[in-house]
Amino acid sequence: QVQLVEFGGGSVQAGSSLRLSCAASGFSFSNYNMAWFRQAPGKEREFVAGMRWIGSVTYYADSVKGRFTISGDNANFTLYLQMNSLKPEDTAVYYCAVRERTSASLSTPTLYNSWGQGTQVTVSS
């Protein structure tokens, strides 16, 4: 049973930083791809960052590239999203997601079938 729990959201001012955590259990990281998605009020859920554990291959949405960093800690079974230089448009509920390993783009949401409950990030001007 795959279980994902997000932590680290909060309300901050533009330019601040936050680090989100996704505590994972029930699967081997090397056999799966993991990603962060977000959903703002009135908008569709969108891809933020993803990781293929083997080789630590990562991919980022253009909107966060250079500001956000995805990483993982196998020993602690945790996925992280370091968010720097936050902007008001980053305001959203952030979700951790998992899918079976595939060559498909990390940004394609179709095959992600396990999700955390989400953590709220609010960035004010």
What's the CA gap between 34 and 87, in Å, rounded?
24
What's the CA gap between 105 and 74, in Å, rounded? Answer: 22
Per-residue confidence band for 65, with pLDDT thresholds at 50, 70 and 90: very high
Report, as an integer, the average pLDDT of 11-16.
98
Classify 77 in phi/psi space as left (phi over 0), alpha (psi -120 to 50) or beta.
left
Three-state secondary-structure class, residue 90: helix
Residue 110: its pLDDT value, please?
A: 86
pLDDT at 121 over 90: yes
Question: CA-CA distance, 106 to 113, in Å (whole number)?
Answer: 13
Q: 93-106: string of b/e by CB count within 10 Å (b at 16+)? A: bbbbbbbeeeeeeb
The pLDDT of residue 33 is 92
Residue 39, C-beta contacts closer than 8 angstroms, at least 6 positions apart: 45, 46, 92, 93, 95, 118
Average pLDDT over residues 89-115: 93
- Rounded to a whole number, what is the distance in angstroms from the first to the last CA of the chain? 40
% of the chain at pLDDT higher than 90:
76
